[in-house]
Chains A and B, each alone.
Chain A
Amino acid sequence: MDAEGLRVDRAEALRYLGYEGQELDADLERRFDEAVAACERDLRARCVHAVFPVDAARSGADRVALAGCGLVLEGRDIARHLDGACEVALMACTLGAESERALRLRAATSPTDALLYDAAASALVEAAADAEEARIVSDAAARGLRTNFRFSPGFGDLPLAVQPAFLAALDAPRRIGLSVTSANLLVPAKSVTAVVGLFAGEPPAGSARSTCASCGLAERCPLRSQGRTCHG
């Protein structure tokens, strides 16, 4: 359940910072390198996932209910994403309280370093989520099941309000120290929760990877206004 030896995808971290090929001074590059190294050295990802059968009787076009934990994933987008899934994997990853402390420390001493560290940590938790997702995919494949991409609360119309019940279903506060604020934001902030569908047959069309179509921020996306997307 622990992901070790994870690396920060530097290009990804730079992209979070809005980097578009500007000429980097050696000093700034060194500070970025230090942020990346500190993340890789000091942070440890804790991840957990669990697979629940879909409760078909209680699911519909605007909701997916899971058996065994009482969790209901609400929204048309998630229902479409999981259409035909026999089981659903819930996953959660966090870089832990140390990431919060390290960010607070840098925010107090150098906002630039805080910004660089924030981006590096974001890239690191994505790497942790990728690794956890890969474990789900390989476990599923071993059982002859197909999967589609991970879908997080906040994507499309799957509300952030699902986070408390989502974490409870995984016992995430106790197992990986991941909590949620009263405004449904994850704490530590450098954390990811996501849903992966498991299918006996072919996953629904268009759900193999993330697209702008299922993103609630698509209309206001600064990347799209520049003709780019966050999913490559």
Chain B
Amino acid sequence: MDEPIDIEAAARALRDAAEGLPDPLAGLRIADEHLERVLRGQDFLVQDGAMGTLLQERGLTAHGELPDLLNFSDPDAIADIHAGYVRAGAEMITTNTFSANSHKLEGRASVADVYRAAAANARAAGARYVAGGLGPIGVLLEPLGTLSFEGAYEVFAEQVRAVVDAGCDIVLIETMTDLREAKAAVLAAKDCSDLPIFASMTFGEDGRTFLGTPPAVAAATLSALGAHVVGVNCSLGPAELEPVAHELLRFARCPVVVRPNAGLPHIVDGRTRYDVEPAEFAAVMARIVDAGASVVGGCCGTTPAFTQELAALVAGRTPAPHEPVRAFAVTSAQEAVVLEEGSAGVAVIGERINPTGKPKLKAALVAGDYDYLVGEAVAQQEAGARVLDVNVGLPELDEPVVLAAAVERLQATVTLPLQVDSSDPAAIEAAVRGYAGKPLVNSVNGKRENLDAVLPIVKRYGCAVVGLTLDEDGIPPTAEGRLAVAERIVAAAEAHGIPRADVAIDCLVMAAATNQDEAREILRAVSLVKERLGVRTVLGVSNVSFGLPQRGLMNATFLAAALGAGLDLPILNPLSGRYRDTLAAWQVLNGSDRGAAAYVERYADALDPYAARAGVAGSAQAGAAGDPSTPALRACAQDDKGAALRAYAQDDSKTASPAPATAGAPADAIPIPPALADVADEVRAMERLILSGRKGPMAAATERLLEGHDALAVIDGVFIPALDVVGARFERGAFFLPQLMASAEAVKAGFDVVRASMGEGAAADDGKVIVLATVQGDIHDIGKNIVKMLLGNYGYRVVDLGRDVAPERVVDAVREQGARLVGLSALMTTTVKAMERTIELLHEQVPGVAVFVGGAVLTADYAREIGADYYGKDAAEAARIAERFFAAHPAI
């Protein structure tokens, strides 16, 4: 083959060498020089086309048998199909092993045997390269399904070992829809082989995988993780995949593979047909190749005729230059945050998931209440955060376990990329390993020992990293000193194969109160680091104001200065309106808010806080007080707790209340408890909040009631009686379920305030512990969640085991927690059997424990039949059961 000089590739290689990056192909076992050139993007590679649709056409799959077993039962047919592709010009043949994993084979053959037979069939067909193919496992990973990340990794690891043993040249991971599953496969391939790794995902008509991953995320994540070729297969026809290919090419740091279907499928008479002809297919592929894709092939519906067209298309040519964007990128499974080199974008990192100085978050973490973290995450997302910092550093916690659990819960609910924040490399590794995306690791520093511990993790899991400008000698006081440490960090990262685009430097903010001279040095360091090293910069902004009054003023001013100096990734509290005002203004000044459109929309009708203040108070110095007055700020104001309540009371008088406003109370009003007689109006207002299910104003209302009153008076005198009224209304049909729920949520908001006010000692549960679970096999847990909240409101300590819970786990939890009452839910007739087994095991293993059950298909008779002690037809009934039970069985 000719070897024309590829100037682009040569330039890239030169630049990489200049940046000190090791050869990404070092240590790989590569079949020959052509394949090596393919992996460097210097040669085209033609892959084969469909296997499954050809088997279907030959009538070999009519009885639902696994096509993989045909490698044994009909090796000639398989080799014949492969040979057709080889004759048509395919250089690489993929083994017929799409389903050859332990889950799908179910013991009908060993994984190793299938790959051995399949590779032999491919070799028999004369394949130049044999790629051992791995498809999706066929069971969904958590959180959608039940397979753990490690479980998936083990399944793939077994396959990769089989690929190696079978003598394949390439590990080919294809048709992935779950980025987390693809990550498990790539990791297994890296760990268990030294072969080149191809990884491709499949995208739908909305340009995302079924699990919501766009091509940019797939390309950025999988290429950072270490796949040698990334791309798309299956999905749609070539025309529909053209935009997908473009996005992949923008974000992949390696060659890109595109293997479309022969158009869109139509099932006719039980057979799948595709609607694109070979010539038309090749015409679109020509454009995709011109855009930079260098590995081409076909998927469902394609035949050797398509391969022939592709081989002709690339014959005698070298790939078009493929220049991915030079950008700092972090991703979740659904979103990429991309700061392109030279662009002015700023991405806020939300800092609120950090227990330092936050007693409620601390208590939530200690209690394992990750829902609280999700709430914090959502609030920050809504306030404009682009990345979320996650820090769970508390001495009493097992940090690796808790950090991994927190990250797992957050990635299942919130779509923002996460910044994993820990000084413990073991905790960082535990959290980033199963993370579906390219997280930001916070942090590494310039100490040799720390670089050696953290950077291998960053590289292995394809992360970006924050580098702190401190080393064995501490934090250098000057800008030049910080730059020198940053330089060493960037060099060390590159030596580990982490490109500098994936490094963000934190020049470390010191308190102006103690290190006043350093403030300007920090700002200068940000500029220097950015200019000299070409990396992104991070700062934890609010550190600057420690020890000074009006911290918000100091923080916002420093933020403005730092943005001016080149700060890209401020770590701050996005709920602070003051920060948001500064950022909104800065985005006009740096040109990212084009035409100031967002700024104008937000502020055109807003009052100038200082002008407004001056107008009212006539005071020229009012501005210094910094009272928040923009809309954003007003929403965050904490200083007028009664306002919301008063506003509600007015609002309520306008709506059609069943009772006359003068009476102020409905017919089933709760009696005013004597201890709260002096605040009867506020008790009534709170009662209305609860009965109408308004949780928003409840916290403030509760705080006011607690001023000068006993917490128990509020609980027993207001919360519980109001809940009883709600329960009674629900019972007689005056309320329907969402009303019951909304009221319960309002009470919970009040309870949270009471608990916080009672401090650490509030955890006492009087032995009234209830374990709740949705039984094994059942995933419908809404009813159980309703019961959980209601029981929590009545003061019981509820241990929620979640859904699809094995009987043994329920027994274990009952023993560990010393629970005497268990609630089980099942929605399906089929899963009531699991409920019966759980009850049986509980009664056998933990005598004395009582079980109440609920669920759509249960009746009182049916509940008795399966051995339950109580039947709760709804959540209100569950609360009454608990009350009766604990009254009859007081703690010993």
Contact = CB atoms under 8 A, between A and B. Distances in A.
B423 interface: no
Contacts of B857: 217, 220
Contact of A184 (B63, B204, B830): B830
Contacts of A188: 144
Interface stretch (B248-256, B337-345, B728-736, B814-822): B728-736
B782 A18 contact: no
B583 to A, nearest CB: 25
A23 B733 CA distance: 11
B813 interface: no
B831 A68 contact: no
B394 to A, nearest CB: 21
B265 A175 contact: yes
B742 A70 contact: no
Given A109-B371, A111-B741, A183 B145 contact: no
**Residue from A27, A171, A173 with most neighbouring chain B CB atoms (10 Å):** A27
A37 B167 CA distance: 54
**Residue from A2, A112, A184, A220 with most neighbouring chain B CB atoms (10 Å):** A112
B782 A118 contact: yes
B302 interface: no
B459 to A, nearest CB: 29
B412 A101 contact: yes
A70 B62 CA distance: 7
Given A104-B143, A185-B778, A18 B829 contact: no
B738 interface: yes
B828 interface: yes
Contacts of B742: 25, 27-28, 31, 112
A92 B477 CA distance: 65
A188 B780 CA distance: 11
Contacts of A31: 738, 742
Interface in A64-104: 66-71, 96-98, 100-101, 104
B269 interface: yes
A52 B271 CA distance: 9
A70 B270 CA distance: 10
Interface string B14-58: 000000000000000000000000000000000000000000000
Given A17-B736, A68-B269, A98-B212, A109 B830 contact: no
B413 A112 contact: no
Contact of B64 (A100, A168, A183): A168
Nearest to A48: B267
A179 B140 contact: yes
Interface string B845-863: 0000000000011110010
A175 B202 CA distance: 10
Specify the main secondary structure of chain B where it touches its partner. Answer: loop
Contact of B735 (A22, A110, A187, A189): A22
B161 to A, nearest CB: 26
Interface in A1-30: 1-2, 17-20, 22-28
Contacts of A198: none
Given A18-B737, A112-B738, A104 B413 contact: yes
Interface string B244-275: 00000000000000000000110101111000
B270 A185 contact: no
B693 interface: yes
Contacts of A32: 738
A24 B138 CA distance: 45
Interface in B182-237: 202, 204-206, 209-212, 234
B206 A108 contact: no
Interface in A153-198: 160, 165, 168, 170-171, 173-177, 179, 181-185, 187-189
A229 B145 CA distance: 33
Nearest to B790: A111
Interface in A102-129: 104-105, 107-112, 114-116, 118
Contact of A28 (B202, B212, B413, B693): B693
A201 interface: no
B789 interface: yes
Interface in B168-186: 175, 177
Interface in B750-789: 776-782, 785-786, 788-789
B692 interface: yes
Nearest to B413: A105
Contacts of B209: 177
A50 interface: yes
Nearest to B265: A175
Contact of B414 (A68, A105, A110, A165): A105
B378 interface: yes
Interface string A41-63: 00010100111110000000000
A216 interface: yes
Contacts of A116: 738
A112 B739 CA distance: 8
Nearest to A117: B782
A173 B210 CA distance: 10
Contacts of B649: none
**Residue from A109, A160, A170 with most neighbouring chain B CB atoms (10 Å):** A109
Contacts of B804: 181, 183
B144 A187 contact: yes
29 contacts: A2-B205, A2-B206, A17-B738, A23-B656, A25-B655, A27-B693, A28-B739, A44-B206, A46-B204, A46-B210, A52-B269, A52-B270, A101-B413, A105-B378, A107-B782, A109-B371, A111-B745, A114-B782, A115-B782, A115-B786, A176-B210, A177-B209, A177-B211, A179-B145, A181-B146, A181-B804, A183-B834, A189-B780, A220-B857
The 4 closest A-B pairs by CB, nearest first: A177-B210, A68-B270, A183-B777, A50-B267
